[in-house]
Structure 1
Amino acid sequence: MSTLGTGRVEVSGLGLGAAPLGNLFTEVDDEQAYQAVDAAWQQGIRYFDTAPHYGIGLSERRLGAALRDRPRSQYTISTKVGRRLEPVEQVTGDDLADGFAVPATSRRVWDFTADGIRCTLDASLERLGLDRVDIVYLHDPDDHAEQAFHEGYPALEKLRAEGVVGAIGAGMNQAAMLTRFIRDTDVDVVLCAGRYTLLDQSALAELLPSALARGTSVVIGGAFNSGLLADPKPDATYNYTQAPAELLDRALRMKAAAQRHGTTLRAAALAFCAAHPAVASVLVGARSAAEVQDCAEQFAADVPGAFWEELRDTGLLAADTPVPEEEPS
């Protein structure tokens, strides 16, 4: 377990990202979702991340139900604010346009105001069946920077001061604005998705060094870049779209190198993310008990140093990219 920032909230090194439990792209039934959470618990995972966005609240409802009989003091849960859910008068279709195979029972409204933050968090607590969450992230404020920094962040800071939440931060698919949160605010943690992986190290330029300097923790999401690093093949996705041919080739070459060294690309992808000293936890999205168990096994596996040497020697990683056997400066 690692403590976030200078606070008291702890997270396990491997966390469960619950977007798939909200029917990300394809349907998952309740029993399968509960079995995935049970498997995570059995594997020692004690950090669970969700959001109202995931399945228009379905992920939160399922995660809350799956954890209901677990001792509340023994796990850490995070959710997100910034997208307020408003019920629609008439359901006319599904939510697949936003990535989730659920009926479009609500519409998402961007809202990083102080009132919107509290309203959204209250609704999340109701769906989760909890009286508190441990971490709250501002969710994807890319196009709402002014409101997020000047209204949303102060609202979170107040909630933390009141003891309503234990840690606050921001979660995004980019590194630049997260670096600004680290430098300009007093966040405990940032959730960086897809920007520190074997295929994309853009967070290494400023975000991770800034986090180390400020004592801010980093949670890494998207370690597999939405699928390409889990199972590179022609129809694999990269950042939720069709993987470009060049990146598919790089991933396949990495996979072949992993096999030569007696490991897997999945194990290497997770080890790479986890090794940086600023990183407190790596989130993996899983939709079944089998996927959870595989991720836990890969996370625990050793990756030989010779594998990293080959990636550097062949140009698949830059020569100065920090790898697990080293500590970044």
Structure 2
Amino acid sequence: MPAAAVNSLEIHYETFGSPSDPAILLIMGLGTQMIYWHTEFCQQLADNGYFVIRYDNRDVGKSSYLKDQPVPDLTKLLMSVTLGGKPEAPYSLQDMAVDALGLLDHLGVGRAHLVGMSMGGMIAQTIAFTYPDRVNSLTSIMSSTGDFTLPQAKPEAMATLTQSIPATREDYIRVTKSIWRVLSGPVAEFEEDRYAELAGEAFDRGLNAAGFVRHFAAIITDGDRTSRLAGITTPTLVVHGTLDPLIPYEHGVATSRAIESSSLVTIEGMGHTLPAQYWPEIQRAILSLIRTVS
């Protein structure tokens, strides 16, 4: 799998389709490897005439681990932010946005359609309001404005973020399946075999618990983006499930309200995963947006 030298890091990526086609950059979420943009999902987008790019964010998967950076105390960070402080993280969502742009530069892509999921949506938002000349369209999936007054995650979903990484491959697959089962919500059909296969592949590619914490710190310290989102004029799609237990549906509504140029697509019954049963609806919405600006 190829890697790009970006910001003194190696960013591993994979592409689908022809480089001569318009680019779609898929940005993954908190501590999650690019393989959770399912291969079939990527190929289906590419088959519609697009150059689809997925990649491992810094500190996850096969991209560079920032072992020289501290592992923050998330409880202290949250307390500081709650009390109005402005703590610093080892790196920011802005730094991760610059990683994404560096990858596009490496691939010779001037402008791209951005599709971000969860934290990936936050990174995509950051690119859109900071570097609008690099963005053709923005799709923010199961993401947020960062407004701490919005409804919080369900306790069982929040608990999945604090589970330790098992040492063996078998135990890692078992625990990871249970995590994704919780995040999928109460209605979505859970694809147990698919998530078992992805967990095994993630284990083999490499795990980095410290990177997960540093990602979380970047989210916490970024604060409320509502006022920054108001500056986005790029055509935007916000996608959110009604039964998301980690980032509740109200976050998607708030995101769409903050971005005047956006439309909201509500996925009935979807949680905080991307099951195949919802791909056709989500892909239709993404492609419809893209085709209006291509």
Q: Which structure would you say has the larger RCO, counting Cα contacts within 8 Å and 6 or more residues apart?
A: 2
TM-score, normalising length: structure 1: 0.30
